[in-house]
Amino acid sequence: MPRFGSTPFAFPDFRGVTRRLVLANLIAYFVLVLASMANPATSYTLASAFAFTPSAFLQGWIWQPFTYSLVHYGITGTLFELLSLWFLAGFLEAGHSSSWITGLFTVSVLGTAAGAAIIYACGSALGLSLTGASLYGCFGGIFGLLVAIGLLYGDTQFLLFFVIGIKARYLVAIYALISIAMLFGQQRMYAFSQLGGALAGLLWVRLAPPRGITFLFSERWFGLRNRYYRWKRRRAARKFEVYMRSQGRTVRFDGNGRPMDEDHDDKKRWN
């Protein structure tokens, strides 16, 4: 279990998937900054195309759930998000694989977009007036990481506002209550999308394989491949048995398609 020891303000090591996530967001931020310096209209067009707008997504802009987390506005908000991402992802990386953390962050980002799309679609179907503001930034992934820490390391102490000591589970609960309270205000779409990211993070922690989806898919792929090879070997063995019987000889194979030793007990098989 990761611990802070005597330095609660110290950030984890900047390595692995934590470094890749932070650098990817940082590079995307500076791309927009440079585009804005060259041509503000181009920057606005890029941000509008890659931020998540529920109405645009429902009209076919299907890439937006995967790209909006890379769109950042303002140096202060971007700095806070990236420092939070570094701290939370680095904390989890001390006890989990890179693929597991990547999967957690990804499903939380997608869950956030799904929450926004669902409330927008439901509101439109019911004739409710909802603000169709675009989502941008990696706050959804950060909330998912925070939920994971609250579930797995709930007794870990954090410093709220660098002054008040609070356990991780209570910090997550406060964050969730704030999002629920926002459902009754003007930012209900933003709040619902945050809860969608939190739910996605919770499901990932509860249901995902410990080594991540990539490892699971690779295991399933190699399992399927091995079953296919065993089936081919049994099929070839049956054909060979038929051929040898036509030649007046008897050859036997076991259930795995391996030849059986005729001079010894049938239970003894070749490897």
Give me the pLDDT at residue 98, please: 86
Give me the pLDDT at residue 243, please: 75
pLDDT-based confidence at 268, cuts 50/70/90?
A: very low
pLDDT-based confidence at 1, cuts 50/70/90?
A: very low
Q: Within 13 A of 219's CA, how many CA atoms are on the CB side?
A: 8
Give me the pLDDT at residue 22, please: 94
Has residue 9 been placed in a domain? Answer: no
**Domain count of the chain?**
2
Same domain, yes or no, for 165 and 133? yes
The separation between CA 258 and the C-alpha centre of its own chain, rounded to angstroms, equals: 43
Has residue 8 been placed in a domain? Answer: no
Where in the sequence is the domain holding 46, given as residue range(s)? Answer: 16-208
Give me the pLDDT at residue 214, please: 59
Candidate from 9-18, 44-53, 260-269 with smallest mean pLDDT: 260-269
Mean pLDDT score across all residues of the chain: 79
Give me the pLDDT at residue 247, please: 75
Same domain, yes or no, for 101 and 81? yes
pTM over 0.95: no
**Tokens matching residue 247:** 């030649």
Give me the pLDDT at residue 157, please: 77
Candidate from 1-10, 105-114, 247-256 with smallest mean pLDDT: 1-10
Could you tell me if 154 and 75 are in contact, meaning their C-beta atoms sit under 8 angstroms apart?
A: no
Give me the pLDDT at residue 264, please: 44
Average pLDDT of the segment spanning 91-101? 87
Domain CATH for 33: 1.20.1540.10
Residues 46-83: pLDDT tens digits?
A: 888 899 988 888 888 999 999 999 998 888 889 988 98
Beta carbons within 10 angstroms of residue 198's beta carbon: 25
Q: Within 13 A of 239's CA, how many CA atoms are on the CB side?
A: 6
Query: Which of the listed residues 208, 237, 259 is the one where a domain comes to its end?
Result: 208
Percent of the chain with pLDDT over 70: 78
Q: Is the pLDDT of residue 266 over 70?
A: no
Residues 111-150: pLDDT tens digits?
A: 999 988 888 888 777 766 665 578 888 888 998 998 998 8
Query: Which of the listed residues 208, 241, 258 is the one where a domain comes to its end?
Result: 208
Give me the pLDDT at residue 206, please: 87
Whole-number Å distance between alpha carbons of 91 and 147: 13
Same domain, yes or no, for 198 and 218? no
Give me the pLDDT at residue 23, please: 94
Could you tell me if 237 and 248 are in contact, meaning their C-beta atoms sit under 8 angstroms apart?
A: no
Query: Which of the listed residues 208, 241, 256 is the one where a domain comes to its end?
Result: 208
Same domain, yes or no, for 202 and 225? no
Average pLDDT of the segment spanning 210-224? 62
Average pLDDT of the segment spanning 214-227? 66
Whole-number Å distance between alpha carbons of 19 and 22: 5
Residues 162-188: pLDDT tens digits?
A: 567 778 788 788 877 877 777 666 666
Same domain, yes or no, for 203 and 217? no
Q: Please give the full DSSP string across 142-190, using - where no structure is assigned.
A: HHHHHHHHHHHSTT-EEEETTTEEEEHHHHHHHHHHHHHHHTTSTTHHH
Beta carbons within 10 angstroms of residue 3's beta carbon: 10
